Structure 1
Amino acid sequence: MLDRVIAIGLGFLLDAALGDPHGFPHPVRWIGRLISALEAFLRARFPKSPRGERMAGRLLALLTALIAAGAAWGILWLSRRFLGRWAALAVETVLCYWLVAARSLRDESMKVHAALAAGDLPAARRAVSMIVGRDTAALTEEGVAKAAVETVAENTGDGVVAPLFFLALGGAPLGFLYKAVNTLDSMVGYKNDRYRELGRCSAKLDDLLNWIPARLSALFMIAAAALCGLDARGAARIWRRDRRNHQSPNSAQTEAVCAGALGVRLAGDASYGGVPVKKPTIGDSRRAVEPEDVRRANRLMYRTSLLALGTFLAVKILILYHL
């Protein structure tokens, strides 16, 4: 267990130092390829009916999660069995590093900030289109900044705190199981004609796994707002009021805290694939969202992540010494 604590801490530091270099092999991309291959395989073998697609979707979620967790477990077992403790520690450190996305979230969102700061709105729209699912071609400067802030706020939970939670709970195997489910949701968890039935299980499972981490993330973020000199009282107030203003039971948890901490209004109507979608707003519009809010959201994300990391590892150490 002590080796796991060390691996998680070192993995977080590796992510802070290196991020996700473009072109470098990453297991999340392999999980994505696995999902695509399994989807094609299962679609060809199950009836093309709502019931058949739901059955295929359940098997898709089960196989993807078990293969990802089993691969991580197998790699660690082989490392300990044939390479020894220190090599296994190094391997688990790399596996933990692969699961945390704080640096890549910061880097991609700050590209939006840099373009906005340079007054290049077309470049800012292109940059934000890489990290959001909505249409970006017609976004104003404020709309671009708001989209980037929302992405940082939401992904603080499922891209950083949740992986740390599952790593602390069950090491790299459980961390990879979570990441597989999260990747499934991002690939097939859509309510459109193609994925409404096939992706239902993946979406529900992702909601279930993120239920506790999302709420812990919100609480850590409220504390982090105070550490950042932001409005922690407003963060707590907006969280209590607006944390359910989303079709997902989890996504608005950290968005509400971030909106309250910054004193801005997030979410609201958006367009996806040319189709306008009505969505509730989160927060109060005490001022307009500005490019510097992207930097503030990232600072909030890192403080939140450090609080979560410290808390999870402290609990593990206390359990270790108690046992």
Structure 2
Amino acid sequence: MPAPRRTGRAAGIATGWLADLMFGDPSRGHPVAMFGRGAALFERLTYADTRRAGVVHTAALIGALGATGVLVERATGRAGQVGVAAVTAPATFVALGGTSLARTGDQMAAHLNAGDLDSARRLLPSLCGRDPSVLDAEGLTRAALESVAENTSDAHVAPALWGALGGVPAILVYRGANTLDAMIGHRSSRYTRFGWAAARLDDAANYLAARVTGALVVVCAPVVGGSPLGAWRAWRSDAARHPSPNAGVVEAAFAGALGVRLGGPTQYAHELEIRPTLGDGPAPKTSDLARAVRLSRAVQAAAAIVAVVLSVAVRTGRRASPPS
């Protein structure tokens, strides 16, 4: 990719991140929500209790997003740096969810500090898919902290990195894959087979980002009075025991950085999972959730800087033609 277009991509990622920092997710008409509604309607046509049907469903939707991204970049790329920035910025803004994640984490901490468990239970589904009705204050705190950790990678680091590496098509494909995983990737009786492809695609799409996030947690831990060495040790010793190849990395790093213990019995609407423990500290308190949110914000800022630098450095596509 010619240098002016790489600069335009970097400017677009920076602008999209700043927009997310200022505004967060729009409350109405969010394109990701619109994609989700379209995917749900499409599922009525494609659903069957087989992996093959799930592959067709996932490939069709993700392929459409990728093709849209390619067409948009080609249509505006002729304008050079300005055109690339003009399409990368809104795509980045739409894909990032880090600011809304942090705001929701802060709201959870406030409800728990006030002892308002009913409000905390009502808010939890906006963070994760666990059954809040069976959780006490300690369970709500752990669920929220684990969700803040995992989604720091999924909702911010991953889309920023994919934008740096592949521009608008990669951003759209990543966000689509992550949305489909949230919709059909869980192990319920309906989606064990149909959602297999979406879950595996999301695992692959988040593999690099989870490890970059883990490294940034190590670097940023002192911002919240945390331990870089503790984050590294928990990552290396505990992450591989987690059922997710990616969430385990990030949750373990957060646990070690904050000096708390995560994992254990985890109740979802469709099943109870007995997860291994991550970290060797005590169960997290509400103050630890607040620290986790601050750590997430620090990691998000560091990831945005990494993505901007990477987008300038990476070379993709054909080399620029020499002047005639």
Pair in the same fold by TM > 0.5: yes
Q: Partner residue of 2:71? A: 74
Q: For residues 170 and 134 of structure 2, what CA distance do their matches in structure 1 show? A: 41
- Identify if the C-alpha distance between structure 1 residues 305 and 222 changes in structure 2 by more than 3 Å, giving closer, same or farther: same
2:46 corresponds, among 39, 42, 61, to: 42
Q: Residue 279 of structure 1: SS of its match in structure 2? A: strand
Q: For residues 313 and 87 of structure 2, what CA distance do their matches in structure 1 show? A: 24
The runs of at least 4 consecutive aligned structure 1 residues that moved more than 6 Å come to none
Gaps of 5+ in 2: 1-5
1:181 corresponds, among 177, 180, 191, to: 177
The answer (yes or no) to whether the contact 1:12–1:97 under 8 Å persists in 2 is: yes
The answer (yes or no) to whether the contact 2:181–2:199 under 8 Å persists in 1 is: yes
Identity of aligned residues (%): 34
Q: For residues 21 and 31 of structure 1, what CA distance do their matches in structure 2 show? A: 14
Q: Partner residue of 2:22? A: 17
2:228 corresponds, among 232, 245, 252, to: 232
Question: 1:230, CA displacement in angstroms?
Answer: 0.9
Alignment of 1:65-104 (within 5 A): 65-80=62-77, 86=82, 89-104=85-100
Q: For residues 315 and 36 of structure 1, what CA distance do their matches in structure 2 show? A: 35
Q: For residues 63 and 260 of structure 2, what CA distance do their matches in structure 1 show? A: 41
The answer (yes or no) to whether the contact 1:31–1:68 under 8 Å persists in 2 is: no
The answer (yes or no) to whether the contact 2:12–2:85 under 8 Å persists in 1 is: yes
The answer (yes or no) to whether the contact 1:135–1:274 under 8 Å persists in 2 is: no
Q: For residues 275 and 87 of structure 1, what CA distance do their matches in structure 2 show? A: 48
Q: For residues 87 and 104 of structure 1, what CA distance do their matches in structure 2 show? A: 28
Q: For residues 255 and 238 of structure 2, what CA distance do their matches in structure 1 show? A: 10
Q: For residues 270 and 291 of structure 1, what CA distance do their matches in structure 2 show? A: 18
The answer (yes or no) to whether the contact 2:12–2:84 under 8 Å persists in 1 is: no
Gaps of 5+ in 1: none
1:7 aligns with 2:12: yes
Q: For residues 271 and 162 of structure 2, what CA distance do their matches in structure 1 show? A: 36
1:109 corresponds, among 102, 105, 109, to: 105
Question: 1:79, CA displacement in angstroms?
Answer: 4.1
1:290 aligns with 2:305: no
The answer (yes or no) to whether the contact 1:34–1:64 under 8 Å persists in 2 is: no
Q: For residues 91 and 238 of structure 1, what CA distance do their matches in structure 2 show? A: 39
1:193 aligns with 2:189: yes
Q: Partner residue of 2:240? A: 244
Q: For residues 274 and 172 of structure 1, what CA distance do their matches in structure 2 show? A: 35
Q: Partner residue of 1:119? A: 115
Q: Partner residue of 1:215? A: 211
1:311 aligns with 2:306: yes
Give the letter for the 2:30 counterpart: H
Matched residue count: 312
Q: Residue 134 of structure 2: SS of its match in structure 1? A: coil
Normalising by structure 1, report the TM-score.
0.90
1:28 corresponds, among 19, 28, 32, to: 32
Structure ranking higher on relative contact order (CA contacts 8 Å, 6+ apart)? 2
Q: For residues 127 and 38 of structure 2, what CA distance do their matches in structure 1 show? A: 22
